[in-house]
Amino acid sequence: MASNDQMYKVGETKGKVQEKTGQMVDEVKDKAGEAKGAASEKKQEVKERAGEAKENTGNYLSETAEAAKQKASETVEQVKSMAQGAADAVKHTLGLDGDANANAKPSGTAGKN
Protein backbone atom coordinates (compact mmCIF):
# COMPACT_ATOMS: atom_id res chain seq x y z
CA MET A 1 0.00 0.00 0.00
CA ALA A 2 0.98 3.55 -0.65
CA SER A 3 2.11 5.63 2.25
CA ASN A 4 0.50 8.86 3.31
CA ASP A 5 3.46 10.76 1.89
CA GLN A 6 3.03 9.09 -1.50
CA MET A 7 -0.72 9.75 -1.47
CA TYR A 8 -0.03 13.40 -0.64
CA LYS A 9 2.40 13.72 -3.56
CA VAL A 10 -0.08 12.08 -5.94
CA GLY A 11 -2.80 14.48 -4.83
CA GLU A 12 -0.45 17.43 -5.11
CA THR A 13 0.62 16.40 -8.62
CA LYS A 14 -3.00 15.87 -9.62
CA GLY A 15 -3.87 19.36 -8.36
CA LYS A 16 -0.96 20.89 -10.31
CA VAL A 17 -1.99 19.05 -13.48
CA GLN A 18 -5.59 20.24 -13.11
CA GLU A 19 -4.43 23.82 -12.51
CA LYS A 20 -2.08 23.74 -15.51
CA THR A 21 -4.84 22.18 -17.66
CA GLY A 22 -7.23 24.94 -16.61
CA GLN A 23 -4.66 27.60 -17.49
CA MET A 24 -4.08 26.03 -20.90
CA VAL A 25 -7.81 25.81 -21.58
CA ASP A 26 -8.18 29.49 -20.65
CA GLU A 27 -5.28 30.42 -22.95
CA VAL A 28 -6.81 28.43 -25.81
CA LYS A 29 -10.17 30.15 -25.22
CA ASP A 30 -8.46 33.55 -25.24
CA LYS A 31 -6.58 32.74 -28.44
CA ALA A 32 -9.77 31.44 -30.05
CA GLY A 33 -11.59 34.63 -29.07
CA GLU A 34 -8.78 36.74 -30.52
CA ALA A 35 -8.81 34.70 -33.74
CA LYS A 36 -12.58 35.02 -33.97
CA GLY A 37 -12.33 38.80 -33.51
CA ALA A 38 -9.59 39.08 -36.14
CA ALA A 39 -11.60 36.94 -38.55
CA SER A 40 -14.64 39.11 -37.98
CA GLU A 41 -12.61 42.26 -38.67
CA LYS A 42 -11.19 40.74 -41.87
CA LYS A 43 -14.66 39.68 -42.93
CA GLN A 44 -15.94 43.25 -42.50
CA GLU A 45 -12.92 44.64 -44.34
CA VAL A 46 -13.43 42.25 -47.25
CA LYS A 47 -17.13 43.09 -47.32
CA GLU A 48 -16.36 46.82 -47.47
CA ARG A 49 -13.76 46.34 -50.19
CA ALA A 50 -16.18 44.24 -52.20
CA GLY A 51 -18.77 47.01 -51.92
CA GLU A 52 -16.23 49.58 -53.07
CA ALA A 53 -15.17 47.36 -55.96
CA LYS A 54 -18.80 46.88 -56.95
CA GLU A 55 -19.38 50.62 -56.87
CA ASN A 56 -16.21 51.32 -58.86
CA THR A 57 -17.18 48.69 -61.42
CA GLY A 58 -20.63 50.21 -61.74
CA ASN A 59 -19.16 53.67 -62.22
CA TYR A 60 -16.70 52.37 -64.81
CA LEU A 61 -19.42 50.56 -66.72
CA SER A 62 -21.65 53.61 -66.62
CA GLU A 63 -18.86 55.85 -67.91
CA THR A 64 -17.92 53.34 -70.60
CA ALA A 65 -21.54 52.97 -71.69
CA GLU A 66 -21.92 56.75 -71.89
CA ALA A 67 -18.73 57.04 -73.96
CA ALA A 68 -19.96 54.28 -76.29
CA LYS A 69 -23.33 56.01 -76.62
CA GLN A 70 -21.62 59.30 -77.48
CA LYS A 71 -19.37 57.62 -80.06
CA ALA A 72 -22.36 55.84 -81.59
CA SER A 73 -24.23 59.15 -81.82
CA GLU A 74 -21.25 60.75 -83.55
CA THR A 75 -21.02 57.82 -85.96
CA VAL A 76 -24.73 58.04 -86.78
CA GLU A 77 -24.33 61.74 -87.55
CA GLN A 78 -21.36 60.99 -89.82
CA VAL A 79 -23.33 58.29 -91.66
CA LYS A 80 -26.30 60.65 -92.07
CA SER A 81 -24.02 63.34 -93.46
CA MET A 82 -22.38 60.89 -95.89
CA ALA A 83 -25.77 59.59 -97.01
CA GLN A 84 -27.03 63.12 -97.62
CA GLY A 85 -23.88 63.91 -99.58
CA ALA A 86 -24.36 60.80 -101.70
CA ALA A 87 -28.03 61.64 -102.30
CA ASP A 88 -27.11 65.19 -103.32
CA ALA A 89 -24.47 63.86 -105.72
CA VAL A 90 -26.99 61.49 -107.35
CA LYS A 91 -29.56 64.29 -107.64
CA HIS A 92 -26.96 66.57 -109.18
CA THR A 93 -25.89 63.88 -111.64
CA LEU A 94 -29.50 63.25 -112.68
CA GLY A 95 -30.27 66.95 -112.85
CA LEU A 96 -32.79 66.77 -110.05
CA ASP A 97 -31.02 69.16 -107.71
CA GLY A 98 -33.02 72.24 -108.73
CA ASP A 99 -30.08 73.77 -110.57
CA ALA A 100 -31.24 72.60 -114.02
CA ASN A 101 -29.65 75.50 -115.91
CA ALA A 102 -26.19 74.56 -114.73
CA ASN A 103 -26.44 71.10 -116.33
CA ALA A 104 -28.33 72.13 -119.50
CA LYS A 105 -26.45 72.69 -122.74
CA PRO A 106 -26.71 76.22 -124.07
CA SER A 107 -29.40 76.54 -126.74
CA GLY A 108 -28.18 76.51 -130.31
CA THR A 109 -25.22 74.30 -129.63
CA ALA A 110 -27.07 71.02 -129.91
CA GLY A 111 -26.06 69.09 -132.98
CA LYS A 112 -23.15 71.35 -133.90
CA ASN A 113 -19.69 69.88 -134.01
- Tell me, what's the pLDDT at 2? 72
Q: Are 26 and 18 in contact (CB under 8 A)?
A: no
- Tell me, what's the pLDDT at 12? 92
Each residue's pLDDT tens digit in the chain (113 positions)? 678 888 888 999 999 999 999 999 999 999 999 999 999 999 999 999 999 999 999 999 999 999 999 999 999 999 999 999 999 999 999 988 776 555 555 455 554 44
Q: Are 97 and 91 in contact (CB under 8 A)?
A: yes
In this structure, the number of other CB atoms found within 10 A of the CB of residue 92 comes to: 14
- Tell me, what's the pLDDT at 97? 77
Residues in the chain: 113
- Tell me, what's the pLDDT at 102? 52
CA dist., res. 80 & res. 2, Å (int): 111
Q: Are 84 and 91 in contact (CB under 8 A)?
A: no
The model's pTM: 0.44
Residue ranges covered by each domain of the chain:
7-90
- Tell me, what's the pLDDT at 113? 47
